[in-house]
Structure 1
C-alpha cells in the first residue's frame, strides 16, 4: 500500500489531513469544545436489512493440490477505518481498502457492488496463528501503520501497512535457547508493549526494542487468545478456562481469578467498550458467554450460535456498546441489540438452546468465521470459508459415491448447507469471500 492510497485525498503530504476533516480527524484530533458532542456513532440496523457494498473472493488454482484451500481465517478493521486486514489460509495476509465514496454520507440501494483487489499482499508461508493492528494506527502518520502476526515456526513479526515490508521481529526463546512461535499476540491498549502467549508462558516485549529482550510470566495453560482493556488482560486457553490478569506499569502480571463455563477451548475474547463486560466464545461450543468482570464466578448471560468445528469463529461488539454480532458455521450472522434483548443481563441459563437474537441474516452459504464492525462508519465486514474434507469414496471421474456396487449422487447444492451431525462433513459448497455490508441508514 503506497502512501497516497491509504489517505483520503489524492494529493500526498500533510495537506491530506487539512483538506479532509472526516475519518482521520475524527479518530485523533482532540476535542477543544466539550460543550458540544464531537462525534456520535451512527445508528445501526435501523432498516433491518443489509446492503452489500463490496466483495473479494479467493479460489484454488487448477494446478493446486486438493488440500490447498484458500479460505478466510479472520478479518479486522484498522483503528482509523481506512482498510481491512485479512488472513487467508495458504495465501498469507491481505489488506483491502475502503472505497472513498463510503467515507462520508449514506448509500443508495442501487449502488453498484465493488469488486475489491488487495492493496497489500504478504505471502507468508505457514499457518498464521494470530494477528492484530497497532492500536494507534493512523494513515496520516506512516510510522503507526503496522500490524503483528505470529505464525508457525516463526517469531512475532511486525509488518508495514504501506509497502508490506517486514519492519522487525520479536523472538521468544525457551530454557534450551530454542525459538518458539507464539500462539497469540496483542498490543497493550497504549501500544507501548506487545504481549505474546505461548504454551506455558506469557512474554512481554517493548515495541521499541525488537529482538529477544522480554519479560516472562509463567502460566499453567496455553494462551490461545487475548483481550485487553486498560490495565486488564483476559487470557483464553485451550483447557476451556479464562484467566484475568492485572498488568502493572513494569510489565508484570497479577492473577485476579479464573472463569469456567465453556465446553471447548476458548478461541476469542472481547471486552465491551465500558470495560465491565467480557464476551467469550469457544470451539465446538454453541454458546457465547457474557461475563461481568466484577463478579466473574459465573456468566451473566448465555447466547447461542452454531459452532460445529474447531475453527475460530469471531464475534464483535459495536463501538457504541449496543450491538453484539457473531458468525457461525451455518453461515448465519446473529445480532443482539441491548435495547431489544438485554444480552448483558442474566437469563434462564438452563435453556441454552433458546435463540433470542434480535436479527438473523443468512449471509453466506459456507461458514461465516469472521466478523468485524467498522470503528466509525456503519459498515460490517464478514469473511467466509472453512476446510472441506475430501470424500475418499468419491471418484473424480464420474462424480458419484459407490457403495455396495451401486452409485449414489453426491451431495448437491440444495442440501449441502443442511446440518450433518457427524465428525466428517463432505460438502461440495465452498465460499471463500470477504464482503463489506452497509448496516446503517439508506437513502
Structure 2
C-alpha cells in the first residue's frame, strides 16, 4: 500500500464538529509498499513550528513545563502534557501534509486547538492506536493522573468520554502509574503498584481482570502479543498476552541502575530499547536472548524526570533527548545500534548526529509516523535562587565571601527556562 499524499480539508472546522479531518489517497498495489522517507540526510534540522507554554514567571511557583509529546497515529496532530497545565493538542499545519520544505519558510507559531485543564500530576498518556481523523469515534486518547482513574478523552472537542476505575483490596479507587492500549486497541492495560489490570475498551467502569506483579509498573511497551513492563526496581518484565488477556511470564531483564521510565520495541518486534532515571545509558535488548543487554548507548539524564526517546517506523533511526538540551540520533546504516558494539570503552563515540536544539532539558522527542518531521519538547523544574529575594547590598556582601560564593556555584540555579513544543524538518531542504 503506497501513500501518495495527504489532502487536508478545513482542519479547524473538524474540531468544531465536522466528521472529515483529511483524506488519504492510496494506491492499492499489494506489491508496492510505502517507503518511509530518509531522515537527517542534510545533517541539519529546519525549525517549522513553535508552541510555547506560559512563562515561568507568569504563575509564580507553578511551573508549566512540558513533560512529553506524542504524534497521533495518523500524523495530523501532536498530543503534549504540560506540568500543572493539563493536556494540549497541537495540529500540524496543512502545508506540511505533503511535499518538501523551502529553507526560507516562515516559522509558524501554533496555539493548541484543544486544551484539557487537568488538575494533579499526569502520570502517563497514550493515543488510541487506530486513531484516524476521518473516523471521529476513533479520535481519542487516555490519561492516568494523580488521585483519578484512567480517563478517555475525545480528540475533537476535549470532552471526557468515559473512565476505567481500579480498586485496591479495601475497595478504594487507586490511580494507575502507567497506561497503554494493546495493539488491537480493544483493551486498556493499567499498571499499578502490585498488579496489572486489563479493561475492555467497550466496557468502562470497574470491570477488569487482574494479574499480580512484584513491583510497580512504571512504563509499558507492546509488540504483538508481547508486553514489556518497566519497574522502579530497575527491572523489565516480559509477558506473553493471549487473546483472552491472560499473562504468561517470560522472564526479567536486569541492567539499569535507576527506575525504568520508558521502553519501546523496534518495529520488527525483535529488539527492545529502554531508559531509566538518573541513568545515562540506553540499553538495547534482544528479546530472544534477554539475559544481558545487546548494546549500550549514551545520553545525558541527570534527573528523575522521564526523558523520552523514539524509534522511526522504518526501524533505522533512534532519537533521544537529554537533560543537556541535545538531541542525539543513531542511524543504523552508519552506527549499527541494533547489534553489539564495543561497549567496554566508555569513551567510544557511537552516535551518528548531535543537534543542540534546546537551551533547557529536552525531555521528549516524537518522530512523525509518515513525514520527515520531528517533534521535541523542552522544560524542567527550576529551583529559585534564594539570593533573588535579598537586597542588592546583601548580595554584594555575600559575593565578597569567597567560600559562600563557591557554595552558590555548586547549587545549580538556572534561568534558562524554555518550555516549548517545536516541530523540526528532518528531510531534504529546498534551497
Q: Distance in 2 between matches of 1:370 and 1:143?
A: 28
Confirm whether residue 102 of structure 1 aligns to residue 102 of structure 2: no
Q: If the length of structure 2 is used for normalisation, what is the TM-score?
A: 0.92
2:30 maps to 34
Confirm whether residue 64 of structure 1 aligns to residue 67 of structure 2: no
Work out which of the residue numbers 263, 266, 277 in structure 2 matches 1:283: 277
8 Å contact kept, 1:72–1:87: yes
Confirm whether residue 321 of structure 1 aligns to residue 315 of structure 2: yes
Cα gap change, 1:281 to 1:401, in 2 (>3 Å): farther
Confirm whether residue 126 of structure 1 aligns to residue 120 of structure 2: yes
2:417 maps to 430
1:5 maps to 11
8 Å contact kept, 1:7–1:139: no
Cα gap change, 1:391 to 1:9, in 2 (>3 Å): closer
Confirm whether residue 151 of structure 1 aligns to residue 145 of structure 2: yes
Q: Find the residue that maps to 2:95 and give its secondary structure.
A: helix
Q: Find the residue that maps to 2:124 and give its secondary structure.
A: strand
Work out which of the residue numbers 198, 201, 204 in structure 2 matches 1:207: 201
Q: Distance in 2 between matches of 1:123 and 1:98?
A: 21
Q: Distance in 1 between matches of 2:65 and 2:140?
A: 23
Q: Distance in 2 between matches of 1:205 and 1:111?
A: 46
Instruction: Kindly state the Cα deviation for residue 173 of structure 1 after the two structures are TM-superposed.
Output: 0.1
1:127-276 matched pairs, under 5 angstroms:
127-276=121-270
* Structure showing the higher strand proportion among its residues: 2
Q: Distance in 2 between matches of 1:354 and 1:72?
A: 32
8 Å contact kept, 1:55–1:114: yes
1:28 maps to none
1:47 maps to 42
Q: Find the residue that maps to 2:137 and give its secondary structure.
A: helix
Cα gap change, 1:323 to 1:62, in 2 (>3 Å): closer
1:376-395 matched pairs, under 5 angstroms:
376-395=370-389
Confirm whether residue 307 of structure 1 aligns to residue 301 of structure 2: yes
Paired positions, count:
419
8 Å contact kept, 1:304–1:353: no
Work out which of the residue numbers 88, 91, 96 in structure 1 matches 2:85: 91
Q: Distance in 1 between matches of 2:254 and 2:343?
A: 14
Query: For the aligned residues, what is the CA RMSD?
Result: 2.4
Confirm whether residue 294 of structure 1 aligns to residue 288 of structure 2: yes
Q: Find the residue that maps to 1:224 and give its secondary structure.
A: strand
Instruction: Kindly state the Cα deviation for residue 8 of structure 1 after the two structures are TM-superposed.
Output: 9.1
Q: Distance in 2 between matches of 1:204 and 1:255?
A: 16
8 Å contact kept, 2:230–2:262: yes
Please give the per-residue CA displacement for 1:204-230, whole angstroms capped at 9, x wherever unaligned. Answer: 000000000000001000000000000
Q: Find the residue that maps to 1:101 and give its secondary structure.
A: helix
Instruction: Kindly state the Cα deviation for residue 21 of structure 1 after the two structures are TM-superposed.
Output: 3.3
8 Å contact kept, 1:302–1:352: no
8 Å contact kept, 1:303–1:352: no
Q: Distance in 2 between matches of 1:407 and 1:383?
A: 39
Please give the per-residue CA displacement for 1:79-122, whole angstroms capped at 9, x wherever unaligned. Answer: 00000000000100000000000000000000000000000000
Instruction: Kindly state the Cα deviation for residue 360 of structure 1 after the two structures are TM-superposed.
Output: 0.3
Instruction: Kindly state the Cα deviation for residue 272 of structure 1 after the two structures are TM-superposed.
Output: 0.3
Instruction: Kindly state the Cα deviation for residue 348 of structure 1 after the two structures are TM-superposed.
Output: 1.9
Q: Which has the larger displacement, 424-433 or 232-241?
A: 424-433
Instruction: Kindly state the Cα deviation for residue 33 of structure 1 after the two structures are TM-superposed.
Output: 2.4
> Structure 1: which 5+ residue stretches go unaligned?
26-30
Cα gap change, 1:252 to 1:323, in 2 (>3 Å): same
Confirm whether residue 440 of structure 1 aligns to residue 430 of structure 2: no
Q: Find the residue that maps to 2:386 and give its secondary structure.
A: coil
Q: If the length of structure 1 is used for normalisation, what is the TM-score?
A: 0.90
Q: Distance in 2 between matches of 1:105 and 1:89?
A: 35
Cα gap change, 1:119 to 1:405, in 2 (>3 Å): closer
> Structure 2: which 5+ residue stretches go unaligned?
1-8
2:4 maps to none
Instruction: Kindly state the Cα deviation for residue 60 of structure 1 after the two structures are TM-superposed.
Output: 3.6
8 Å contact kept, 2:16–2:157: no
2:24 maps to 21
